[in-house]
Amino acid sequence: MGIEKRGSSTELHLRTTIEQSPLATAILDPDGRYLLVNAAWNALWSRGEYGFPESSSVFENERLRAMGLAPYIEECRQNAAVTTPILFCEATPETRARWLQAFIYPVRDETGTLLQVGLVFEDFTDRKALEDELAHQAFHDSLTGLPNRALFLDRLGQGLSRAKRQAERGEACGLALLYMDLDDFKRFNDSLGHAVGDQLLVGVAERVASRLRLGDTFARFGGDEFAMLLEGLEDVVQAAGVAARIKQDLSAPFQVDGHGAVVTTSIGVVVAAPGETGEYYAEELMRRADIAMYRSKRQGKNRHEIFSFGMNHSLERLGLEEDLRRAIERGELRVYYQPQIMMSTGETVGFEALVRWEHPERGLLAPSEFISLAEETGMIIALGQWVLAEACRQVRIFREQIPHEAPLRMSVNLSARQFRYPELVEEVAAILSETGTEPRDVVLEITESVMMEKGPDARGILRALKGLGLTLAMDDFGTGYSSITTLKSLPVDILKLDRSMVEGMDGDPQNRALVSATIGFAHALGLDVVVEGVETAGELDALRSMGCDIAQGYYWYRPCSTEKATELLVS
Ligand code: C2E
Ligand code: MG
Ligand code: MG
């Protein structure tokens, strides 16, 4: 081959290539003796007093031996294939624990005889730290540091399984869920400002947490909503007692910003049926606690109610459900458009379509007030199709109003149930063709947890959607079980960083580094980064310096009507 023909100068070049490789690389003979190590290898290993290589064979080196490398090299001798990356955690008295990723691969001649073994190490510590931090953030509320909804649900699932085992052993196994919502918090927040509101939330969180028993879980779900998981109870009376005590504890005024604030709360209590477990049941319990909490509100607030089945159907929720069924045909749904801004130029390069419901009596409702209902009842399928069709039609109209070839993309959200819907791909294809929309003008946003829920099938569905010519975005990154590893394995084009990550940057260098590293990794994977929820010039500057591509947020525009969106696009 060409390499041999050009003889030793090529060999020298190859050697230099390895020597200058940024990855720590060693070439070993079949017995594990060093033939060549590069500078990065020396740099990786020669920290502290552990000079390396200090011996003629990897097997004689204490640290590599401690890592248990030998069996992998042995495997190399036997098998032709490259080993999958192996993760090692190494801690020496002198160095901080570090994570290393090793690739070990055999080099054979044409008869299959092992000539050499390649050993490449990559220091994985920073990426690992980033993933751990993302995992922590994913499970905790940044304001109060309490567990968030995801962690709470996880603990609830574990608690139900534990209760089942306790019941089988004849032990006290009562498990109760308390759902609490502060009364009139919105008014407090609006009149005294968010900063004071936040202080109050932190105060409430601290006071309630300080009174809990070890093993109880107290979480914040966002806003002024909290939940509590109590285990090992004798009966429902005990759970109601805890609710009464919380009300009592909160009755002493809070000192916030020089004001004495008095807080009351409405609490819903539900007790699990012994022996019931599973994710569905956990969700059902949350829903029941929520219903009981609403009942407390309607009974005049500052009280608790224990869930009973009678409540289940008596609720106004039912009314809302019927209304929603008719909303589409009555033309009450609207799509609002939030501009997406190219950070480098300040121009609008796209929109996110966000649904609103113009309810005849309740006014304009945000998705948080009806999407989960639509999701539970299956109405989301029809609603989602309507939104997609509407957004597609609109992007075509926008296109006609702006110069040819100007960048413009319409992002549309897909919910969990839509993603699971077997005819999704066909439906999307039909909507694209019926509305005459260019697929490259459309982005579908799907959250990571929804993608992961679907397991290995997800990749197939995502591929099929991409096959239609659409662009895919992973939405709300930083809130779920975010992991760089899953991101790498799924065929998405855009990473959307959640507002909670942006919010966390303020005055916190560590969070700032986290956002910056996440953007760096996304770029390294070839993804565009869209940041959500930019509200201040400070956030904008920070994100711009981190190389973020596109952003949306109240700093520029709130989601707006078609008319306003058209106005700002053509102006
Ligand atoms: P999302 O997809 O993460 O959408 C971004 C949300 O952040 C929107 O809330 C938007 O109004 C809000 N937002 C944008 N900029 C800022 C900011 O600077 N500060 C703050 N605090 N918030 C900002 P919205 O419209 O209430 O939608 C909430 C969620 O409802 C969406 O989250 C999405 O998951 C869901 N949703 C909205 N429309 C649809 C739809 O048509 N179909 C489905 N399946 N879900 C939808
Ligand atoms: Mg979205
Ligand atoms: Mg989002």
CATH of the domain at 125: 3.30.450.20
Q: What φ, ψ does residue 355 adopt, rounded to 5°?
A: -80, 150
User: In DSSP terms, which residues pair with 119 in a beta bridge?
Assistant: 26, 104
Q: Which residues line ligand 1 (CB under 6 A)?
A: 338, 354-355, 366-368, 371, 384, 387, 413-415, 445, 475-476, 499, 532-535, 552-554, 559
* Contact (Cβ atoms closer than 8 angstroms) between residue 544 and residue 343: yes
CA–CA distance, 220 with 563 (Å, rounded to integer): 38
Q: Whose C-alpha lies nearest to ligand 1, atom 29?
A: 367
Q: Are residues 350 and 498 located together in one domain of the fold?
A: yes
Last residue of a domain, which of 129, 160, 178? 129
What protein residues have CB closer than 5 angstroms to ion ligand 3? 475-476, 532
Q: Whose C-alpha lies nearest to ligand 1, atom 34?
A: 413
Last residue of a domain, which of 288, 312, 336? 312
Q: Are residues 330 and 299 located together in one domain of the fold?
A: no
State which ligand 1 atom lies nearest to the alpha carbon of 415.
44
State which ligand 1 atom lies nearest to the alpha carbon of 335.
41
Q: Are residues 19 and 96 located together in one domain of the fold?
A: yes
Specify the CATH number for the domain of residue 525. 3.20.20.450
Q: Are residues 416 and 521 located together in one domain of the fold?
A: yes
Last residue of a domain, which of 81, 99, 129? 129
Q: Note the ligand closest to the C-alpha atom of 450.
A: 1
Tokens representing residue 92 in the block: 């020496």
Q: Are residues 278 and 374 located together in one domain of the fold?
A: no
Beta-carbon count within 10 A of 375 CB: 17
DSSP calls for 465-480 = HHHTT-EEEEEEETTS
Q: Are residues 242 and 218 located together in one domain of the fold?
A: yes
Q: Are residues 392 and 487 located together in one domain of the fold?
A: yes
Q: For the chain, what is the domain count? A: 3
* Distance between Cα 364 and ligand 2 center (Å): 19
Look at residue 7 and give its three-state secondary structure. coil
Closest CA relative to residue 272, chosen from 422, 155, 112: 155
CA–CA distance, 130 with 458 (Å, rounded to integer): 25
State which ligand 1 atom lies nearest to the alpha carbon of 476.
3
Q: Note the ligand closest to the C-alpha atom of 443.
A: 2
Q: Whose C-alpha lies nearest to ligand 1, atom 19?
A: 533
Q: Are residues 367 and 430 located together in one domain of the fold?
A: yes
Angle at 498 between CA 453 and CA 198, to 5 degrees: 115
pLDDT in tens, the chain (571 residues): 333 445 577 888 888 888 888 888 888 888 888 888 888 888 887 643 333 444 567 777 676 777 777 777 777 777 766 566 777 777 766 667 788 888 888 888 888 888 888 889 888 888 888 888 888 888 999 899 999 998 999 999 999 999 989 888 888 788 999 999 999 898 888 888 889 999 999 999 999 999 888 889 999 998 899 999 999 888 888 899 999 999 999 999 999 888 788 999 999 999 998 888 888 889 889 988 988 998 888 788 899 999 877 665 545 565 677 788 889 889 999 999 999 999 989 999 999 999 999 988 778 888 988 898 888 788 999 999 999 999 999 999 999 998 888 899 999 999 988 998 889 999 999 999 999 999 999 999 999 888 877 666 888 999 999 999 999 999 999 886 677 777 888 899 999 999 988 988 877 888 899 899 999 999 999 999 999 999 999 999 999 999 999 999 999 999 999 999 999 998 8
State which ligand 1 atom lies nearest to the alpha carbon of 498.
3
Amino acid letter, residue 46:
S
Q: Note the ligand closest to the C-alpha atom of 353.
A: 1
In terms of DSSP bridges, do strands 363-365 and 409-413 run parallel, antiparallel, or are they unpaired? Answer: unpaired
Give the structural domain span for 416: 324-570
Rg (CA), the chain: 29
CA–CA distance, 291 with 376 (Å, rounded to integer): 15
Q: Are residues 359 and 290 located together in one domain of the fold?
A: no
96 in any annotated domain = yes
Specify the CATH number for the domain of residue 299. 3.30.70.270
Find the helix or strand (DSSP H, E) in which 200 lies.
helix 194-210
* Distance between Cα 476 and ligand 1 center (Å): 10
8 in any annotated domain = no
278 in any annotated domain = yes
CA–CA distance, 137 with 511 (Å, rounded to integer): 10
Q: Are residues 362 and 491 located together in one domain of the fold?
A: yes
Q: Whose C-alpha lies nearest to ligand 1, atom 33?
A: 413
Mutate which of 532, 534, 556 for ligand 1 pocket (most atoms within 8 A of beta carbon): 532
What pLDDT is stored for residue 51 in this prediction? 39
Q: Whose C-alpha lies nearest to ligand 1, atom 46?
A: 413
What sign for the dihedral angle of Cα 427, 431, 432, 433? Answer: positive
- Give the C-alpha distances (Å, rounded to integers) separating 537 from 142, 286, 361, 533: 21, 38, 37, 12
The count of C-alpha atoms lying within 13 angstroms of the C-alpha of 516, restricted to the half-sphere facing its C-beta, is 14
Q: Are residues 329 and 306 located together in one domain of the fold?
A: no
- Does 367 sit behind a cis peptide bond, omega within 30 degrees of 0 on the bond before it? no
Mutate which of 341, 354, 370, 428 for ligand 1 pocket (most atoms within 8 A of beta carbon): 354
Mutate which of 324, 371, 534 for ligand 1 pocket (most atoms within 8 A of beta carbon): 371
Residue showing tokens 């075509």: 396
Q: Whose C-alpha lies nearest to ligand 1, atom 20?
A: 533
134 in any annotated domain = no
**pTM value > 0.85:** no
